[in-house]
């Protein structure tokens, strides 16, 4: 069930390509959240679907982003073995400050899921949830974000880090309007 091809997930590592919205993305998230919750047990306070696949009706990289809230950031280190047991690789916590990143892929060539283990209600948690909620509640804002992403995806098709960096001003402006920095 977790690797159902109907989900349309998978993107070659370090590349950028957007997919049309897929009604199965929410089901893919739910299946994965259940597996993560079972694997991590009491370490988890809350699990949320974040990123563009969590915004209905917009194009997105076909990778499910998941926020896992834990009590303390250091609890992320205690999640490594359990996450590896369900098919995730630990990418570290030096890529994004205060964020333990885990990736799950297809045949080690692409990514289908990215999990961000962060402090529940900490800065990273609040930013991810606030940005998602702002786009979910304002279709014009969601469409503007989609338009930006379409242009950046063609410009940075082989440079995912540059694509992500180029979206930062838009995201920061939305968060400022939401009362976050």
Report pLDDT digits (tens) over 2-20.
777 878 899 998 899 999 9
Q: Which of 156, 130, 161 is nearest to 18 (CA)?
A: 156
Distance CA 98, CA 121 (A): 12
Confidence of residue 106 (pLDDT cuts 50, 70, 90): low
* Residue partners of 148: CB distance under 8 A and separation at least 6: 167, 170
Asked whether 167 and 149 are in contact (CB, 8 A), the reply is yes
The 10s digit of each residue's pLDDT in 109-119 is: 889 999 999 99
122 to 27, 156, 178: CA distances (angstroms)? 27, 30, 16
Q: Does residue 1 surpass a pLDDT of 80?
A: no
Q: Pairing mode, if any, of strands 110-119 and 11-12?
A: antiparallel
* DSSP 3-state of 133: helix
What number of other Cβ atoms are within 10 A of residue 144's Cβ? Answer: 15
Closest of 48, 10, 1 to residue 28, by C-alpha: 1
Position 122 confidence tier, pLDDT thresholds 50, 70, 90: very high
Quick one: how many helices (H) and strands (E) in the chain?
6, 6
Distance, in Å, from the CA atom of 3 to the CA atom of 126, rounded to the nearest integer, reads 29
Segment (H or E) for 114: strand 110-119
Concatenated DSSP letters of 13-24: TT----B---TT
Whole-structure pTM value: 0.94
**Separation CA 95–CA 123 (nearest Å):** 16
pLDDT band at 108 (very low <50, low <70, confident <90, very high): low
92/98 Cα distance (integer angstroms) = 10
b/e code 60-70 from CB counts within 10 Å (16+ = b): bbbbbbbbbbb
């Amino acid at each position: 069930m977790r690797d159902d091809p109907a989900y349309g997930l998978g993107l070659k590592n370090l590349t950028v390509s957007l997919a049309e919205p897929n009604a199965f993305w929410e089901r893919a998230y739910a299946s994965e959240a259940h597996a993560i919750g079972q694997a991590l047990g009491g370490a988890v306070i809350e699990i949320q679907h974040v990123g563009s696949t969590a915004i209905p009706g917009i194009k997105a990289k076909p990778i499910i982003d998941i926020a896992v809230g834990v009590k303390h950031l250091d609890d992320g280190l205690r999640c490594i073995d359990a996450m590896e047991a369900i098919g995730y690789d630990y990418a570290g916590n030096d890529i994004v400050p205060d964020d333990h990143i885990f990736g799950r892929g297809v045949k080690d060539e692409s990514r289908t899921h990215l999990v961000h283990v962060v402090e529940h209600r900490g800065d990273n948690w609040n930013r991810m949830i606030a940005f998602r909620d702002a786009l979910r509640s304002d279709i014009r804002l969601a469409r503007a974000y989609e338009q930006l992403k379409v242009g950046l995806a063609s410009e940075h098709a082989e440079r995912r880090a540059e694509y992500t960096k180029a979206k930062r001003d838009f995201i920061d402006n939305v968060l400022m309007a939401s009362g976050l920095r």
